[in-house]
Structure 1
């Protein structure tokens, strides 16, 4: 018995979508490097500011967002802290954890990177953003 395959256009759409994602990721990686950051540092900073309803996160939350191990996340936070991009603050509600937020320096670089990312997404016709 012959197995039925998905229609060719489905493969084409999936392949094109994957291509566009990879192209955007490459753009993002190069943009981060142009600002002296690793792509992972940029992702960490974006995850902090992009966390819903607040501008800080715990290392555990960040590890989940970045899909890395908690240990790897702590190492990444340490490297970003050494560069002056993020800071650790005590968590007053749970003394067992800390909160990670951006420094002014980190926020400035993230703002620059985010503006060029928005422009790239608009140029590619992938998303439309309101700045408000």
Structure 2
């Protein structure tokens, strides 16, 4: 494993700084579009969910890394704002699916266009990090986490 260089640390710092700026930028644009940052994430999780039917609350909780009850509250607020709707699953009426309503779809589409353009600004740093990862090779098998010895087998 090759030693890390000052440039490696500088690249990681640049990436983390740009990532934090992107997240702050994203939150600002969500609010300007009339939704909270969490509602924006919810809309994206619904639209990005694969399959022919919308995601369940449990799937949304997993995407958003939230507890089930927090996700229910988030969906409740988004439903009150007419961004999303709940529907019973066609195959199992006990299952509730969440789908976008036209206002949610419109807001998400506008935000996504802006986000994809902004993410293009991060591409050069991501490319550099990908090259850095290739040059670093495999992590040290003696550790699972930086600064921590691997557990004894």
Q: TM-score scaled by structure 2? A: 0.73
Distance 2:30 2:75 in 1: 16
Q: Check if 1:102 corresponds to 2:77.
A: no
Give the match's secondary structure for 1:57. Answer: coil
Tell me which residue corresponds to 1:49. Answer: 47
Q: Check if 1:59 corresponds to 2:57.
A: yes
Higher relative contact order (CA 8 A, sep 6+): 2
Matches within 5 A, 1:31-42: 31-42=29-40
Residue 115 (structure 1) shift: 1.2
Give the match's secondary structure for 2:94. Answer: coil
Residue 55 (structure 1) shift: 6.0
Give the gaps of 5 or more residues in structure 2: 125-153
- 1:29/1:39 contact within 8 Å kept: yes
Tell me which residue corresponds to 2:123. Answer: 126
Q: Map Cα deviations across residues 15-43 of structure 1 (whole Å, 9 max, x no partner).
A: 22211211111111000000111000000
Matches within 5 A, 1:80-91: 80-91=78-89
Q: Which residue of 9, 25, 28 corresponds with 1:27?
A: 25
- 1:63/1:73 contact within 8 Å kept: yes
